Structures are given as C-alpha cells and as structure tokens.
Structure 1
Amino acid sequence: MRDLLHLDLLKKGRVLLAFSGGVDSTALFHLLIEHHISFDIAHVNYHTRSSSDEEEQSAEALALRHGLKCYTHSCRLGGINFEHRAREERYKFFGYLMKKHNYRYLLTAHQLNDRLEWLMMQMCRGSGLPEMLGIRSHDRRDDIEILRPLLEWDRDSIEAYLAEHNIPHHIDQSNADERYTRNFFRHRYSAPMMRDYRDAIRRSFRYLEEDNELLIEPMDFIAVDTFAYASNPPNIRSLVYGIDTFFKNSGYLLSQHDKEALKKGGEHIIGRHSVVSIEPDYTFIAPYEHNVVMDKGFKEECRGLKISSKLRGYLYGSPEAMGVMRRLKGAPAPLRFD
C-alpha cells in the first residue's frame, strides 16, 4: 500500500515531522516527498546510545539534501521514568517549534503494529476503549494538532518499502530487548498476529475509532491562570476521559483508583496537589491550597454559591478565577466601596 492517511489535511499547509531516523520516520519522510507535501523535520538527541550523535548528523544531512529545515534538540535525562520524561521533553520542543514557525500539524510515524501493541498493553491494565485507542490518526495534545499518516501501514510493509527503494535508516538495537514491556508484547504477541491477520486488524481499528467517536464527547477546558473549567459532557465515560486527558497533558497520570473515584462526582484531591470539583454542569480543576485563612464574607459567599470547600483556598487568592466562578453560577459581582 502507498496511501497516507489525511492527505487532504497534509496538503493544506506546512507540517513538522517528528524524525528519529529509524524505520518508521524514515519511511514517512520519503513518502511525504513522494506526495509533494511541504514539511520540515525535528529531531531530539537524548544521548542514550553510542550512535545518537551520528543519528542527529544523519537527520541534518538528509534534510539538507532535500532542501528542508532540520531542528535539533539535545538533552540528557538520567534517573527513573525515562520514557515519560523524554515524551514531555520532546513535545515541549515540538510545541515551541509549531508556535514559533506556524506549522499547522505535527506528524508522528506511529504505525499499525504500534497501535496493536498499545491496545494489548492497555487491555492487560484493565483499560477502556478510549485508552486502548490512545494512538489515533488525528489527535491533539495541548495546543498541538497531531496527524499519524502511517497508522494503517504495518511494520513489514514499511520495511518492504525501504528495501524496495534502497533507503538507508538507523536500527534501534534496544527494540530487541524484551525487558521493555512494549518489546515483550511485540515479539511474543503482536508481530505474529499482524503477520496472520493484518487486514482484519486494520479494519477493526477503523471500526473501533468510529465507535469511540460516538462514545466519547470532548471536554474543552478553559484555563484562567492555573484554574481550569469545562462544561460537563453527557456521560460519565466522557467526563472521566476528559479529566484524565487534562492531567496527562499536565504531565500527571491518574491512577485507576482516581478514575473510579471521579465516576462518583463531587470533589477529589488528585496527587495531593490538585482539586477536582465535579458539579452538575461544570467541572473545575485548580491547585489544592489548604490551611488558607479566609475572611467571613468570602466563606459566606462560597457557601451561598455552593462552591466546593476544597476549591475555596485557591479561589480566595485568585480574584480572576473567583470572577469566573461567579459568572458561571449566575451571581452578581460583589459591591465595591472604593
């Protein structure tokens, strides 16, 4: 197959390709050239392998050869939870580039095998449909709109494309290490399934994505400094997914216990640092400020407006957020005596 997803969108403006130099991003690079898409590339060097500097230089040389810009970012992330911190680092870099240079879409080279591996891992964690479909063909992360044009290509087809065109690329040797959960699922389960049932798996993901769009309605959080609020969607599943996505975009992962608790509504302390207040019409999220001494008039107003007790400490120190709360609850602004 030679089709890319969302070709119509890709042709509507300059796009930025997240480029590692591996099998998938190299194939996507050359397919974009074939389809005359206007794009540049961004490469992050984590210095985790002896070949990291060579991969960065290869990315720069490839871009130069095709008259494209190559933006590079160098970082060293020691310690625990490397994958999460690396993801946060690169999306921060991508977001900066998107905003500075007015790129319309960020492209990532996730493909069908990645999608199946992710679904399997989420099933083994007890996740629901939206989490299983965490890799979508058209997605958003914070202010970044993401397209994944290769999401219906399987790994064998991508490797065949590179071999047919004699296109050089880098191989990440860590992909063979089954100590990594994703590699374990890849070698033991997803790769054999993909070889035998590729077309059926591709069709199933199409149907699942369509079903998910019917099930999940988005929550559009509006931020006022570190305070955020959104209208509640029509069902609990959409509500919990929307709150979960908000925290993921903020760099925090909700526990299964958090998600189960949120289904009950009301107010919740998340990670000892945030308060979530779920009311009939709106959900409010703010930093958790406790031991705040509030004057009697403010406390009486909060009681009258039925504002969550755990939100009040933050609202007391944020007149702008409190103004939003009054407006949403239809309360008049308090009188001023200047």
Structure 2
Amino acid sequence: MLQETTKTLLQNSKNLLAFSAGGDSTALLFLLLENKIPFDIAIVNYGLREQSKEEVAYAKQLAEEYNFVCHVKNAPKIEKNFEAEARSLRYSFFEELIDHNGYENLLTAHHLGDRFEWFLMQFCKGAGCVELSGMKNVEERKNYTLVRPLLDLEKQELLEYLNDRKIKYFEDESNSDERYTRNYFRHNFSQPLLEKYLGGIKKSFSYIDQDVASLIKDVKLDSINQLAYFQTNDKRTNLVYIDRYLKGQGHLITANDKKELLENESVVIGRKYIVVQDERYVFIAPYLEAKDMDKQLKEKFRLLKVPVKLRGYLAADAEALELVSLLLQ
C-alpha cells in the first residue's frame, strides 16, 4: 500500500511517527512494520476523554511488543481555540523530540479524505490552485522532512487493512462533533463524494499537482543566520515559497496575510516576521523594531533603499546586513 518512493525515502532514515491510536495512524504504524521501516512514535494525551488513557496504554503496549520507543506528552488544559492550540502544542512536542533525538522525518497519517476536506474548505473560502492542492506527500521543514505516506489512500482502504488483519484501533468520538468545521465538511460533503467518486477525485489531485508544478517556478531559497532570501519577480511564486518557509518555521500564514503579500512589497506577518519583496529579491526575517541607529547606518539603509521594517533585523545582524548590501547594490 505504501508507494515505492516513500519506502525508499524512509527505510534508511530515522523516523518519528505522530501516533494517536486511531485507525489512520494505527494503519500507518503496521504498514511501517510490514515494510521493515524503522521508527519511534509520539502520542499526545489532551486529557479530554477517558478513552485517551487507554490509547496511551495501547501505544506503550505496541512499543514494547514491537521494540520501538514511545514518547508521551500529557498536555495542559486548553481553554479556547482548541484545534489551533492543540495543533501548535502537538507540533512543538514533535519538533522538540526531533531536535533532541535526531529524527530526520516526521510521519503523519493524513490520508486522501483529509486532503479532500482541506480542498473543499479552501474552495469555499476562496483559493487558487496552489492552496487547493493542499497537502503534499513530502514537505521540507526547518530541520526535518514532513512525510505523509497515506495521502493517496482513502480512509475506508485503511480500515479494511486493519479489519482484515484484526488489528485493534480506537475511534475518537469527537470526530462526529460537527461543531468542528473539518467534521462538518467530512460528514456532509467529502465523505459522501469520496464514496461515490473516489477514482475521479484521485485523478483530479494528480492533475492538480502536475498543473501546480508547471505554474510555480523552481526557486533556490538561501539563508544567513535568521534571514532567508530568494530571487524571483513573480508574486504568485513568491507567495508559495514564503508560505513554505514560514510553515517550516512553525508559523501558518492566514488568508489575510496572503492577500497583503500579493498587494504589498513589505508585510509584517503575525507580528513575528517581516517579508520584503523588491523587484529582484524576497527577504524573510524576524521582525524587530529599528531603534537607536546611528546616522551612518541610517544613511546606508537610505542609499540601499532597504524597506523600513527590515532595518531593525539588519541592524542587529551584521552578517545579514553585509549580504543584503551586496545583493541590493
């Protein structure tokens, strides 16, 4: 069931599987075992359901039985905006483990249904081809590679795999709660459509991926310290690479951020990053306010026409300033 390219990528790597004990991640776990792919697992207990204790116990049981490491995090109580906060907490935990243990790949059990839900949600918000294409099988992040080995498989295929082998897994009752937008789209739109048009939907995503690859130019992204930069003069391509880079830094840009990036040359993202797009280069850096600069440095910025909001970071990083000076001459 796993693609050969995925198996080749993972078989000689150090892999961390994001595990929940649900059907998707349990199927991925046993597919990894079946293909002799090495991995450890990480599971987060949010403490919202009594069943979550059983799920953690099952994760530990599998680790002992199949001889891999099980990392567990007991999350603090999340008071509001649960989905976003839980995601942030979860990925922070995974990235800490990656840093401390040298994992090269983070594996998640996102499948075709997840991708189609995302497609429909973005379509209803207003999106272009790149946003509609959504998740990728392989995405480079800051210090690891995010791999989704199940992205071409539908949920029912995974459940049949588990049921045929009588493999235990858990159902999360919150998946039926339509107060969550994803669940609403899943139960009312994506799931019925996948049941009726699975083959066509798979083909459509394949065509969309090919179209996006032809539309978006290849860009070489470089960095020095905390300044990233690349060279293009196409704002649509810029947006794709800005989004990818910031996602790799753990920051998701909003629809409003994307709109501003298409309309403006200098944009502060989430009060954390400054993105500058001039005629030749795109610069991305932490956003720092420019304070107490001497007259000589101010004059240098003026002559180079460095955007005001980028000056704070460059004033604090002499190496980045020297590089930008050379690029903008």
**TM-score, with length taken from structure 1:** 0.88
Q: Are the equivalent residues in 2 in contact too, given 1:109–1:150 (CA < 8 A)?
A: yes
Partner of 2:86: 86
In 1: Cα distance, 2:68 partner to 2:43 partner: 13
The separation in 1 between residues aligned to 2:313 and 2:53, in whole angstroms, is 46
Q: Corresponding residue for 2:97?
A: 97
What displacement does 1:67 show? 1.4
Counterpart in 2 of 1:308? 307
In the alignment, which residue of structure 2 is the partner of 1:198? 198
Alpha-carbon distance between aligned partners in 1 of 2:44 and 2:328, rounded to the nearest angstrom: 46
Q: In 2 relative to 1, CA 319–13 (structure 1 residues): closer, same or farther, beyond 3 Å?
A: closer
SS in 1 for 2:309: coil
Cα distance, 1:252 vs structure 2: 4.3
Identical amino acids, percent of aligned pairs: 39
Amino acid of the structure 1 residue aligned with 2:55: E
Q: Deviations over 1:214-272 (max 9, x none)?
A: 223356252524xx231133522110122233344445443434323322452233344
Structure 1 counterpart of 2:114? 114
Q: How many residues align?
A: 327
The RMSD of aligned alpha carbons is: 2.2
Name the amino acid aligned to 1:177.
Answer: D
Deviation at 1:145, TM superposition (A): 0.4
Distance 2:187 2:115 in 1: 14
Separation of aligned partners in 2, 1:287 and 1:3: 39
> Aligned in 2, Cα 1:271/1:109: closer, same or farther, shift over 3 Å?
closer
2:168 alignment partner in structure 1: 168
Residue 262 of structure 1 aligns with an amino acid whose one-letter code is: L
Structure 2 CA distance, aligned partners of 1:152 and 1:25?
15
Q: Following TM superposition, by how much is the alpha carbon of 1:77 offset from its aligned partner in structure 2, in angstroms?
A: 4.1
Which residue of 2 is the match for residue 267 of structure 1? 266
Residue in 2 that maps onto 1:22: 22
CA distance in 1, matches of 2:145, 2:179: 33
Which range moves more in the overlay, 163-172 or 313-322? Answer: 313-322
Per-residue CA shift, 1:159-213, capped at 9, x if unaligned? 1111111111111000111111111111111111111111121122122222222
CA contact 1:15–1:107 (8 Å) conserved in 2: yes
Question: Is the helix fraction higher in 1 or 2?
Answer: 2
Which TM-score applies when normalising by structure 2? Answer: 0.90
Instruction: Rate the CA distance shift 1:207–1:175 in 2: closer, same or farther, 3 A.
Output: same
Structure number, greater radius of gyration: 1
CA distance in 2, matches of 1:289, 1:100: 29
CA distance in 1, matches of 2:38, 2:170: 24
5+ long unaligned stretches in structure 2: none
Segment of structure 1 superposing worse, 184-193 or 309-318: 309-318
Aligned equivalent of 1:69: 69
